[in-house]
A and B are shown apart, each in its own frame.
Chain A
Amino acid sequence: MSPLLKEYLNKKVVLVTTSGECFIATLEGFDKSTNLVVSNLTNRFIDDDNTESNILSHVQLMRGSEIVACGLYEPTDQETAGESRYIVKAPTIHDTKNRVKDEHLVWMKVAEEKVHSTTKRRKLTK
């Protein structure tokens, strides 16, 4: 199977970005860094407030560094049966940034342990 996105040209694709957002759009173009040209970009899932998925942008260029995944859109059974798209409720998609809560405290502790262990060794050798 070709690794190129050529197969997906002018088709509806699902895009996942590094910010954890999920879109559906029509793929118009791509390049080797996965910069994409997409048209009719909409959200993949609907919030409870909206009844319809609005077009977020008609033509957009997405930077390759932002894109996590891109795949062919296949409507779920629910979607095709109910004749309304994007009916699936939004699952939690995290972003790609690995954020640890109170990371500075973790590192402080690491530093402490390090100092602690070196001083211990010195005592033993003495």
Chain B
Amino acid sequence: MLPLYLLTNAKGQQVRIELKSGEVIEGELTNVDNWMNVTLANVNEYKSSDNNAQMEVLKSTEIYLKGIYIKYIKLQDDIISTVKQQINSNQNNNSGNKYNNRKYNNNNRNYNNNQGSGNRRNNYNNRDMNRRHNNNNYQQQNRRSYHHNPNSNNNNNNSNEYSRPSHDGTGGYVQHHTIFNNDNENKVEF
């Protein structure tokens, strides 16, 4: 479970953030970005994290906090199970879907869904080849750019199991899906 992924899924929840200065900020998470900069709503600021010395300093409707200034973020207790549930329910929705809405053009769009914690996610690599490749999962260890927090609809991978290594010579991980093929010209083969 990537930290930023978890944070993105924590939007709308109450969080408690301790800063590097020791101050504590409590509020409702409205937005996160790749650098962990956050915006919070209905914010309370406290001078320190000990419950004895707590002095409520400031109350504001919205606050923008730079990610580099964060020490840690306390989340709700049930957040991990909630997020995992979300993932599982999205998988169940997607595995039966027809792939009409997926446009595989010739622009090589690397949808880099790198979830490094042992989850293999889909990297949609649109290649200009004779046949269309659906769902080629490329384990790109060296290409870690921004954590692309995916719209969970695009995640077709069961987060609890590893994908099998593919034997089609691409060197990646391929997930096998049932394809409802409505294109007559291009047959998809695995």
Contacts and interface: CB of A to CB of B under 8 A. Distances in A.
Q: Do A and B come from one complex?
A: yes
**Which range holds the interface residue count of chain B?**
20 to 34
A65 interface: yes
Contact of A61 (B73, B117, B144, B147): B73
A76 B23 CA distance: 35
Nearest to B144: A32
Interface stretch (B75-83, B91-99, B104-112, B124-132): B75-83
Contacts of B147: 31
A89 B142 CA distance: 42
A57 interface: yes
A17 B31 CA distance: 26
A60 B3 contact: no
A29 B144 contact: no
Contact of B71 (A5, A28, A39, A66): A66
Nearest to A36: B3
B41 interface: no
**Which range holds the interface residue count of chain A?**
20 to 34
B68 interface: yes
A31 B116 CA distance: 7
B119 to A, nearest CB: 9
Interface string A20-37: 000000001111100111
Contacts of A36: 3
A105 B74 CA distance: 41
A61 B1 CA distance: 11
Interface string B129-160: 00000000000000010010000000000000
A6 B116 contact: yes
Contacts of A9: 117-118
A4 interface: yes
Interface in A3-55: 4-6, 9, 28-32, 35-37, 39
Closest 8 CB pairs of A and B: A29-B1, A58-B77, A35-B3, A61-B73, A59-B75, A62-B72, A29-B117, A63-B70
